């Protein structure tokens, strides 16, 4: 937890506002490297390229909040989900 907090503080310290557009600019989080590759190679196979599944077996993820998806993925990793269909697809 301390590492996450320090990383967040470091990112906050690096964040700055673009004077022309007043947009907050935050550098990419290094802990998410490879995430897009994982999504492209694994998640999108069932949940669709943009998180919009065309199969009723797989939920649409496009409208979910990132915190919800993170919590659910942690539950899968800990074998904490009891839904049999979710276990069949996600525990592997």
> pLDDT digits over 59-89, tens only?
999 989 989 988 988 888 888 887 888 888 8
Q: State whether 44 and 67 are in the same domain.
A: yes
Q: Which residues pair with 17 in a beta bridge?
A: 24
Q: State whether 45 and 69 are in the same domain.
A: yes
Question: How many domains are there within the chain?
Answer: 2
Q: State whether 88 and 54 are in the same domain.
A: yes
Q: State whether 70 and 92 are in the same domain.
A: yes
pLDDT at 65: 93
**10 pLDDT above the threshold of 80:** no
Q: State whether 25 and 43 are in the same domain.
A: no
Give the global pTM.
Answer: 0.57
62 three-class SS: coil
pLDDT at 20: 63
Q: State whether 39 and 79 are in the same domain.
A: yes
pLDDT at 42: 85
E strand or H helix at 16, and its extent?
A: strand 16-18
Any idea which residue has 């539950």 for tokens?
75
Domain extent at residue 24: 1-30
pLDDT tens string 13-62: 455 555 566 666 666 666 666 878 888 888 888 899 899 999 998 899 99
């Amino acid at each position: 937890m301390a590492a996450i907090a320090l990383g967040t503080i470091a990112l906050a310290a690096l964040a700055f506002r673009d004077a022309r557009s007043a947009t907050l600019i935050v550098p990419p989080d290094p802990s998410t490297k490879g995430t897009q590759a994982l999504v492209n190679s694994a998640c999108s196979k069932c949940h669709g390229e943009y998180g919009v599944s065309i199969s009723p077996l797989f939920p649409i993820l496009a409208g979910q909040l990132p915190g919800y998806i993170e919590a659910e993925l942690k539950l899968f990793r800990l074998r904490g989900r009891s839904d049999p269909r979710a276990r069949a697809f996600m525990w592997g």
